[in-house]
Chain A
Amino acid sequence: MADLLLELGTEELPARFVVPALDDLERTFKEQAAALGLTHGAIRRFGTPRRLALLVSGLIDKTPDVKEQKTGPGVKAAFEADGKPKQPAIKFAESVGLPVEKLERVTTPKGEYLAATVEVKGKRAIELLPDVLNACVRKINFAKSMRWGDVPQSFGRPLHSIVALLDGEVVPALFADVKSGRTTKGHRFLSPQPIELKSPKDYEAAMEKANVVADIEKRKSVMVEKIAALAKQAGGTVIEDPELVDQVVNLIELPCPVLGRFEERHLDLPPEVLVQEMKSHQRYFSLKGPNGKLLPAFVAVSNTPVKDEKLSVAGYERVLKARLSDGRFFFDEDRKSRLEARNERLQRRQWFEGLGSVADKVGRIVSLAQFLNGKPDATIERAAKLCKADLETGMVGEFPELQGVMGREYALHDGEPKEVALAIFEHYLPRGATDSLPTQDAGAFIGIADRLDSIVGLFSVGKKPTGAKDQFGLRRACLAVINLTLAKGYRFSLSKAIAEAGRSFKNVPAADVLEFFRGRLESLWREGNRPDAVEAVLAAGFDDLVAAQKRLYALSAEVQKPGFSDLAVAFKRVANIVEKQAKDVKKGAVDASLLRDDAEKALHSAVQKVRDEVFSAAKADDYARALSRVVTLKPAVDLFFDKVLVMDKDVAVKENRVRLLMEIGDLFNTVADFSKLQG
């Protein structure tokens, strides 16, 4: 058993590269090791902007010997008629080092073949590892990679060192212009001298000594703790931002947070502006006081404990001061003209080639949002009209993340009604999987209209997402439309809404758009529901998304009950016959006078009994009750199939029976298409 260390020393990698690269490294190592039979124990990962490392413990020294059966030539070709071995048999025997008599025979679908069991000797780990490690390095898939020097290989940033140690021994490996060894470096400024590693186990401690906290989680917890302490010192707490934490932790090797301040007068800027100024350009953490309001202070995380903290903090403060002055400048300038006046300029802003300007889009949103609402509404109209005006402000030009926020602030400043201002902000919600939803309908309808317009518009110019590619975020937009509609319980016809959205475009592939929604619904609902139940509900229609979800919940509850699979079998049979006969037999009322057998009469009366109840329950969205009524038909259905032959010689009798089954089909189709259910 031995330990293995692979460390790749690089110039500063982008923060966002570090974790995915470690994922790749670890995955490749595990795959390669498994394929070669190199069993191992736990793997630890280390990563900073300047190093990516794996520490594998308990790696076996040598892979075990294994017995392997090798197949040779076909028996027919290998021997003469008299059983004398021919050339192929002799050659094969030689190749496996056995006399011909010792060869085995195996029967395969293609015939009988010669075979031999040979022992394959295990290999020493040190012999196998060079290829394994090469693959590990080569298979890191950076979001962007670059070449350096004049070698053809590329990497996230120039590679400087490869440490590859199996216990005390260097594993030879080569990538681009770097050969493996045991030398690495510590912190760029605090420990610039080369470090000779004796053994993999020493790695973490050696790094620590060289002022590098190599373990990401450890570095993160040290950093977060120190930031919290400084926040406390400033009389507040940090505004939680896990995204910023994950980014900053991989911008540094040694967390040295410092506390800085800014002028209090800037606190009258919208808090989102201040937070964004600090975060997006500077990667500073914002602080809030006990009352939840922003403090005029920040924490910046330095990579170096500097000699005189005041000097470097002054630097941080100066940069922020300039940024905030810029922000204030934009805020003041932007408020000099009304939001409404900016709408004009949206005419010159192309939304998408062939789909008009942003002003055109706004016009479409105004009418579609009203359509979705079902009646004209002053707040929706006004807010929709202004919803993109802030794109023309200096502040949003500088910080695109503030779209919506600035719209709200400037609308309030202009004296627009509060609800209008709120709707402008909320129409962008939810901005991600964990973001909150609009609190009022105006923002929600405008948001649905905006996204639906994007989906239908882009589909009409052939930009629908393909494969893993979703350049325009249409999957996310579609999911947001679904989530908003479901969460708010909005009832509208999806197909009509798509048709309405499509009125402004040419060549709208409405069926494709519906199929796109179907796909999103399917993936959304498959979490926590049986796939066949999802399929059955979707197959019976999803034009009313809210109803479709209720139907799904009812069906999902039903399919979990014992005895459901018998039930499904019976109803599937109904569904299958209906499907087969649908082209020959017209729908219509069942003619009671044509019913002959007791079983069919009984089924007919059973259907009559539940029919109205099922439809009225479905109409009242009570799909559980509708389903529970349909289910009572099971004994009658079973008896019917037992006693009655649907395909009677008398066409009129046959068609009548099919119609009876069609009635049953209509009943369960209020919930789902049972033919899609697995037994």
Chain B
Amino acid sequence: MYFQELILTLQDHWAKLGCIIAQPYDLEVGAGTMAPATFLRALGPEPWNVAYVQPSRRPADGRFGENPNRLFQHHQFQVILKPAPKNTQELYLESIAKVGIKASEHDLRFVEDDWASPTLGAAGLGWEVWCDGQEITQFTYFQQCGGFECKPVSAELTYGLERLCTYLQGVDNVFDLEWVKGVKYREVFHANEVEMSTYAQRQADKDQLFALFESYAKECKRLIVECELPLPAYDFALKCSHTFNLLDARGAISVTEREGFIKKVRDNAKLCAEGYIKMREKLGFPLCKTKWTVGDQPALLEGKPASGMWWEPKKTEKGEEKKKEAARG
């Protein structure tokens, strides 16, 4: 299966199930999770089902096009299902069956792998999916995002497209992948790897990057605090994050400074998350009015949605409700 077919097959699978096919976010990000279509949409009560390819830049992983499986930029196929359907695993397995990995032919396994991103204040539990011992997908149930509890919980599926495709095509070197018939990954991206690695690890102007980091961070804060514009503010948080990654790859950040930079990015990401939830609330959480779900949702329990069965922690009312909850289990 060509690289391109892989993308199209996955898109088709998730589109048919009711996902929006979004386009890659047009800023530098380290992972599909950072795109607003994941990070911001995972916040708040609104449903959200999306799939998109996200070119992901990891300046420190750049190997000048010389390493067979490490890249400055790779591609993630990102799926967010919110609320996560009961059969998320099955829907996922159907998707990889469609690209040619059949459960009857391979050893497919869900192996514990929890995920946390200190720069995003985000964390989740889940697995890496193994196919004959090879990790092909990261599968996470979001628990926290921007420091906020995720409710409902989103399922995030991240297919590492290059890795999955080298597996499918049976090649050892990512540059040998066939993008379409007759065109190799090498021809499409090798020069990009060489130049981007050279920039990130040898040529990047540290002073300029330090200055940019500060000014992006300041602008992010201003946009959120003074202007209540969480969406553009989040763009600046992303720019901060990428600038930090560049500085890090350049070896410009000492161990002691590192924490400080990460904290700055995280604090801004949290402000954006908070601002985004407020903004959606003001709009009346419009997506809540849709009945937009993918896959099997939990059955009604005694005629009500499960969430309605359970007492929710509220600071004002204690005793009674707590007892009720305890009685139910």
Q: A interface vs B, CB < 8 Å?
A: 11-12, 14-16, 49, 131, 134-135, 137-138, 144, 146-153, 157-158, 160, 173-177, 179, 188-189, 251-252, 256, 282, 284, 300, 302-304, 306-308, 311-316, 318-322, 348-350
Contact string against A for B residues 137-162, beta-carbon threshold 8 Å, 1 for contact and 0 otherwise: 00001010000001111000000000
Report B's interface with A, CB cutoff 8 A.
69, 83-84, 86, 89, 103-112, 114, 124-125, 127, 131-134, 141, 143, 150-153, 167, 172, 254-256, 298-299, 301, 305-307, 309-313, 328-329
In the bound complex, do residue A152 and residue B310 qualify as a contact, i.e. CB atoms below 8 Å apart? yes
The answer to whether B105 touches A146 (Cβ under 8 A) is no
Given contacts A282-B133, A348-B254, are A149 and B112 in contact (CB under 8 A)? Answer: no
Minimum Cβ distance to chain B for residue A265 (Å): 16
Once A134-B329, A304-B103, A350-B256 are accepted as A-B contacts, the answer to whether A149 and B133 lie under 8 Å apart by CB is: no
Beta-carbon contact of A306 and B104 below 8 Å: yes
What would be 24 A-B contacts, judged by CB atoms less than 8 Å apart? Answer: A12-B110, A15-B112, A131-B329, A134-B329, A135-B329, A146-B125, A148-B153, A149-B83, A149-B86, A150-B151, A151-B310, A157-B125, A158-B141, A252-B109, A302-B107, A303-B108, A306-B106, A307-B104, A315-B133, A315-B167, A318-B172, A319-B133, A322-B172, A350-B256
Q: A147-B143, A320-B133, A350-B255 are in contact. Are A308 and B306 (CB under 8 A)?
A: no
Structural contact, A189 and B132, CB atoms closer than 8 A = no
Is B133 a contact of A177 with CB atoms below 8 Å? no
A391 to chain B, nearest CB (A): 13
- Chain B residues whose C-beta falls within 8 Å of the C-beta of A252 in the assembled complex: 109
Q: Which residues in A have their C-beta under 8 angstroms from that of B307?
A: 149-151, 177
Q: Which residues of B contact A303 (CB under 8 A)?
A: 107-109
Contact of B255 among A147, A313, A348 (CB under 8 A): A348
A319 and B131 CA atoms in complex are apart in Å by 10
List residues of chain B with CB within 8 A of the CB of A135. Answer: 329
B255 contacts across to A, CB distance below 8 A:
348-350
Q: List B contacts of A314 (CB < 8 A).
A: 132
Taking a contact as CB atoms closer than 8 A, the residue among B83, B107, B108, B132 that contacts A150 in the complex is: B83
6 A-B pairs with the lowest CB-CB distances in the bound complex, closest first: A315-B132, A134-B329, A177-B306, A14-B112, A150-B152, A12-B110
Query: How far apart are B80's CB and chain A's nearest CB, in angstroms?
Result: 15
A176 to B309, CA, bound (A): 8
Looking at the assembled complex, report how far the CB atom of A563 sits from the nearest CB atom of chain B, in whole angstroms: 59
B328 x A174 contact (CB < 8 A): yes
Q: How far is the CB of B64 from chain A (nearest CB, A)?
A: 15
Q: Is the CB of A137 within 8 A of B106?
A: no
- Contact between B108 and A189, CB atoms less than 8 A apart: yes
Distance between Cα atoms of A322 and B133 in the complex (Å): 12
CB-CB nearest in chain B for A142: B125
How long is the Cα–Cα vector from A321 to B172 in the complex, in angstroms?
A: 10
B132 adjacent to A319 (CB under 8 Å): yes
| Residues from chain A with Cβ under 8 Å of B152 in the complex | 149-150
Task: Determine which of B105, B107, B132, B329 lies in contact with A137 in the assembled complex, contact meaning CB atoms within 8 Å.
Answer: B329
Assess whether A311 is in contact with B125, with CB atoms less than 8 Å apart. Answer: no
Q: How far apart are A421's CB and chain B's nearest CB, in angstroms?
A: 29
CA separation between A488 and B310, bound complex, in Å?
Answer: 61
The reply to whether B105 and A306 contact each other, CB–CB distance below 8 Å, is yes
Would A146 and B143 count as touching, CB distance under 8 A?
yes
Scoring B111, B132, B328 by chain A CB atoms within 10 A of each residue's CB, the highest score goes to B132
Q: In the complex, what's the smallest C-beta–C-beta distance from A144 to chain B, in angstroms?
A: 6
A251-B313 in contact (CB<8A): no
The answer to whether B69 touches A322 (Cβ under 8 A) is yes
State how many angstroms separate the Cβ of B176 from the closest Cβ of chain A.
14
A137 contact set on B, CB distance < 8 A: 329
Q: Closest residue of chain A to B87, judged by CB? A: A160
CB pair B111–A319 under 8 Å, yes or no, is no
- Which B residues are in CB contact (< 8 Å) with A320? 133
Is A153 touching B141 in the complex (CB atoms < 8 A)? Answer: no
A34 to B103, CA, bound (A): 45
How far in angstroms is the closest Cβ of chain B from A518? Answer: 36
Q: Given A149-B83, A322-B172: A315 and B131 within 8 A (CB)?
A: yes
Q: How far is the CA of A197 from the CA of B175 in the complex (A)?
A: 52
Q: B103, B127, B151: which contacts A189 (Cβ < 8 A)? A: B103
Cross-chain contact of A315 among B89, B134, B150, B329 (Cβ < 8 A):
B134
- Whether A316 pairs with B133 at a CB distance below 8 angstroms is yes
User: What chain A residues lie within 8 Å of B104 (beta carbons)?
Assistant: 189, 304, 306-307
Q: How far is the CA of A509 from the CA of B140 in the complex (A)?
A: 45
Partner of A312, one of B105, B110, B305, B328: B105
Closest A residue to B85 by beta carbon equals A149
| A147, B298: Cα distance in complex, Å | 14
Q: Which residues of B contact A14 (CB under 8 A)?
A: 112
**Alpha-carbon separation in the docked complex, A174 to B309 (Å):** 10
CA distance A146 to B155 in the complex (A): 12
Neighbouring A residues of B105 by C-beta, 8 Å: 306-308, 311-312
Complex interface: chain A residues within 8 A of B305 (CB): 150
A175 surroundings in chain B (CB, below 8 A): 329
| Chain B residue with the shortest CB-CB distance to A15 | B112
- Nearest Cβ distance between residue A145 and chain B, in whole angstroms? 8
Instruction: Provide the residues of chain A in CB contact with B124, threshold 8 Å.
Output: 146
Chain A hits for B299, CB < 8 A: 177
Tell which of A11, A16, A153, A157 touches B310, judged by Cβ atoms closer than 8 Å: A153
Whether the pair B110, A149 counts as a contact (CB closer than 8 A) is no
How far does the Cβ of B207 sit from chain A's closest Cβ, in whole Å?
21
Is A152's CB under 8 angstroms from B127's CB? no
Complex interface: chain A residues within 8 A of B110 (CB) = 11-12, 49
User: With a CB–CB cut-off of 8 A, which chain B residues contact A160?
Assistant: 86
Q: How far is the CA of A304 from the CA of B69 in the complex (A)?
A: 28
If A150-B83, A150-B152, A319-B134 touch, whether A177 touches B301 (CB-CB below 8 Å) is yes
- Point out the residues of chain B lying under 8 angstroms from A318, CB to CB: 134, 172
Does B133 lie within 8 Å of A304, measured CB to CB? no
Could you say which residues of chain A place their CB within 8 Å of the CB of B132? 302, 312-316, 319
A149 touches B310 (CB 8 A): no
A131, closest chain B residue (CB) = B329
Q: CB distance A138 to B329 under 8 Å?
A: yes
Q: Which residues on A sit within 8 Å (CB–CB) of B69?
A: 322
Given A174-B301, A348-B254, are A304 and B153 also a contact pair (CB < 8 Å)? Answer: no
Q: Contacts of B112 on A, CB cut-off 8 Å?
A: 12, 14-16
Q: Report the separation of the CA atoms of residues A571 and B329 in the bound assembly, to the nearest whole angstrom.
A: 60
Q: How far is the CA of A443 from the CA of B127 in the complex (A)?
A: 40
Which B residue's beta carbon lies closest to that of A315?
B132
